[in-house]
Structure 1
Amino acid sequence: MWYHGAGNDTERELLTAVIDDFNAAQSECSIAREDFPQAAYNESVIAAALDGSLPDLIDVDGPVMPNWAWAGYLQPLDIDPSAYADFLPGAIGSWNGEVYGLGLWDAAIAMFARKSVLDANGIRIPTLDDPWTFEEFDGILETLQATGDFDYAIDMGMAWTGEWYPYAFSPLLQSFGGDIIDRSDYQSAEGVLNGEEAQAFGEWWQSLFERGLTPGTSQDGADRETGFIDGRYALQWNGNWAGLGALEAFGDDMLYLPAPDFGHGPKIGAASWQFAVSSTSENPECANAFIEFAIDDKYLASFSEGIGLIPSTPSAAALTQNYASGGPLEVFFELSNQQGVIRPPTPAYLNAAVVFEKALADIANGADVLTALDAAVDEIDADIEANGGYTG
């Protein structure tokens, strides 16, 4: 097995426990793990796939999985669907009608806020059933900025780059009615990334920076980490992995709120790392058996307790301190379940994600919205065409 978590002592200990239990529970299979730094992991897998030296088991980031399946690096899982029937949608890696990966956890984004701040400004607390509307949310940002109590009304996290952009920001585009790629056939971005809805999103996105409501692309990483807790940002768009730190700072005043509804339903990103079986595995039965063993609720719960992410099933969540009923992060499970949308499950996503990031950064920095979106569409469509539509 290859794993991306070198340097993460907690993950290594948790995964070691699962492997040790599996090896002790039967005599037909033995799992040995090799760890890689996350920054070098994908390149290592691709190189091994090209020279035919992949191990039996690998883990793969959810949005990357369709590309690796299309490229022939992975084989569909041979696990009864009843074993993952209760999984959060984002923890199931599907492409082309087949399941290729299963994850022990998912992650979710919420609007971080303080009840005292909202109350002081006459702002209602939204719920999953009644989220803020577009007009309401935009007005809230203006109200909070006008108080003069904060450097910025909201922190969108512009210090973070790479996968953060499509994970955190493309759901906002989708809530406007656009998308990165047309999901009807995944053959083009035309109309969804540069249509009227996408242009409306782009204009609003750019206005956040023009109006000084959020830090721009030059935001310092330290400010991203501490600005909300230090009281310099009124709101923050952030993930459940940061939830406990904010809770420690603000206690009962801390709120994790659902995404606003920009017109086509509130949406947040979904899908994280998943276990998969390589296409060249000489022991696929053992590889599948290990994955089925690892998705037992007790392991889902232990990973959640150790690394703070969302267990893949409600029954595993009930075993945890943070996500059980009444737990401090309980809301994130339902945020993931009700608002989570996976990034476009297509091999074209790897290129499209990079293109999308550049377009949003350019727009944030003042580029003409339609010009930036049209250029992104052209680049995404050219890649799809160059790869034969990524079919088969």
Structure 2
Amino acid sequence: MWTHSAGNPGELAVYKKIIDDFNASQPKYRVVQQNFPQGSYNDAITAAAAARNLPCLLDMDGPVMPNWAWAGYLQPLELPTTLTDSLLPTAVGRYQGKVYSAGYWDAALSIFARKSVLEKNGIRIPTVDKPWTLAEFDAVAAKLKDSGYATPLDLGAADKGEWWPYAYSPMLQSAGGDLFDRTAMKSADGVLNGPDSVKFFTWFQKVFKSGWANNSGPVGNQKFIDDKVALSYTGVWNAQDALQKVGADLLILPPVDFGKGPRIGGGSWQWGISAGCGSAQSEGAREYLKFSYQDKYLTDFADSQVVIPATQAAASASKYFSADGPLHQFAVLSQKFALARPATPGYPVISTTFEKAAKDIMNGADVKSALDAAVKAIDSDIKSNNNYGN
């Protein structure tokens, strides 16, 4: 079993408990764990696949799974549907109608605010049933800037890599655009560069031009903790620190409705079985996975890492995400608004191309031209790979 978890002692401790319990529970199979740093993990997988030396069990970032399945790295998971149906939809990885991966947890995004700041400025506190509209959000940002915040919003633009499609494509989807045509699964043309996408990215550029946000560091939630910004667009992984520092004044707000309903990203690290794993070993891998999805382990994982448990029963037992837990709102946001990234083998190219286009636009590039260039790059990759079989 390979994981990307080297350097994360809390995560490794939960895995050790699961593995020790499974190995002690039966005499037929033995799981042996090897951990890699996240930064080098994908390279290790690619090299091992080329050498036909993948482990039976491996974890993967959710949106990368279709590429690995298409490349022949993975076999269908074939866990009982009663198990996979009990998980959050975004914790189950499907490609061409088959389940190839499943996770113990998901993450969710929110807007952090201080109740005292919103009340002082006469700003309505949004709810999941009545989130801020785009017009409201613009008015809120302008009012907070006038109140004395040099840059009232931290949108996380100092970050890089997968954060960009994870964080900003849900905003795009809420506005009516998307990264890719999810129906035909062959092109981004007319979707990523369509009228709704152009409108959204024109707004995105305005946010930075207006000084409502910038891309200065640090990465994370420190500017909100220090009260340098009033609103922070961030994830559940920063919630515990914010709760400790801001206390009862902390608000965990829903995403903005850009016109077509609120959206946040979904689909995080999940487990799969390699295609080269022999039939007897594959059976053992499935037995281990079935064992590992016990609610008690999902709760342990969630409370150790402060991530949303993939089952309702595990969430109910969590000290953070139960109905009266301080971070229950994240479980609600995930259930109501999460949308997975497009399940195409072309996603790695979509991700890097989107990041470049969005950063160019943030820095002042012509919106339509930047999106057209992104579409050209994505569609070129799709065509050069014979539509990835679609």
**Matched residue, 1:357:** 355
Per-residue deviation, 1:249: 1.2
1:233 is paired with a residue of what secondary structure? coil
**Matched residue, 1:206:** 205
**Matched residue, 1:187:** 186
**Matched residue, 1:69:** 69
Q: Does 1:220 align with 2:217?
A: yes
Aligned length: 388
**Matched residue, 1:24:** 24
**Matched residue, 1:147:** 147
Tell me the amino acid that sits aligned with residue 229 of structure 2: Y
Per-residue deviation, 1:86: 2.2
**Matched residue, 1:328:** 326
How do 1:352-391 residues align onto structure 2 when only pairs under 5 Å count? 352-391=350-389
Tell me the amino acid that sits aligned with residue 374 of structure 1: D
Deviation string, structure 1 residues 109-156 (Cα, Å, up to 9, x no partner): 0010111111111111111111111111111111111111x2211100
TM-score scaled by structure 1? 0.98
Aligned equivalents of 2:346, 2:78: Cα separation in 1: 25
Q: Is the 8 A contact 2:221 2:232 kept in 1?
A: no
2:252 is paired with a residue of what secondary structure? strand
1:189 is paired with a residue of what secondary structure? coil
Aligned equivalents of 1:141, 1:273: Cα separation in 2: 33
Per-residue deviation, 1:84: 2.4
Aligned equivalents of 2:232, 2:210: Cα separation in 1: 17
**Matched residue, 1:99:** 99
* Aligned partner of 1:286 among 284, 287, 293: 284
**Matched residue, 1:78:** 78
**Matched residue, 2:336:** 338
Aligned equivalents of 1:89, 1:235: Cα separation in 2: 29
Aligned equivalents of 2:171, 2:320: Cα separation in 1: 27
Deviation string, structure 1 residues 58-109 (Cα, Å, up to 9, x no partner): 0011000010001100000121110122211111111110001110110000
Aligned equivalents of 2:311, 2:151: Cα separation in 1: 37
Structure 1 range deviating more: 87-96 or 234-243: 87-96
Q: Does 1:44 align with 2:41?
A: no
Aligned equivalents of 1:135, 1:317: Cα separation in 2: 35
Tell me the amino acid that sits aligned with residue 42 of structure 2: N
**Matched residue, 1:299:** 297
Aligned equivalents of 2:158, 2:84: Cα separation in 1: 36
Aligned equivalents of 1:256, 1:225: Cα separation in 2: 13
Aligned equivalents of 1:12, 1:253: Cα separation in 2: 33
Deviation string, structure 1 residues 323-375 (Cα, Å, up to 9, x no partner): 01111100000101110000111111100100000000000000000000000
Aligned equivalents of 2:134, 2:80: Cα separation in 1: 42
Per-residue deviation, 1:186: 1.4
* Aligned partner of 1:239 among 235, 248, 265: 235
Tell me the amino acid that sits aligned with residue 378 of structure 1: K
Deviation string, structure 1 residues 302-342 (Cα, Å, up to 9, x no partner): 00111111100111011110001111100000101110000
How do 1:95-174 residues align onto structure 2 when only pairs under 5 Å count? 95-148=95-148, 150-174=149-173
Aligned equivalents of 1:225, 1:133: Cα separation in 2: 24
1:227 is paired with a residue of what secondary structure? helix
**Matched residue, 2:57:** 57
Aligned equivalents of 1:20, 1:390: Cα separation in 2: 40
Aligned equivalents of 1:45, 1:313: Cα separation in 2: 28
1:221 is paired with a residue of what secondary structure? coil
Q: Is the 8 A contact 2:77 2:100 kept in 1?
A: yes
Q: Is the 8 A contact 2:221 2:234 kept in 1?
A: no
1:15 is paired with a residue of what secondary structure? helix
Note the residue ranges of structure 2 that are not aligned, 5 or more in a row.
Answer: none
Per-residue deviation, 1:41: 0.4
Aligned equivalents of 1:127, 1:387: Cα separation in 2: 44
2:152 is paired with a residue of what secondary structure? strand
Aligned equivalents of 2:222, 2:16: Cα separation in 1: 33
Q: Does 1:315 align with 2:317?
A: no
How high is the sequence identity, in percent, across the aligned residues?
Answer: 47
Tell me the amino acid that sits aligned with residue 16 of structure 1: K
**Matched residue, 1:88:** 88
Per-residue deviation, 1:42: 0.5
Aligned equivalents of 2:95, 2:62: Cα separation in 1: 11
Aligned equivalents of 2:121, 2:388: Cα separation in 1: 51
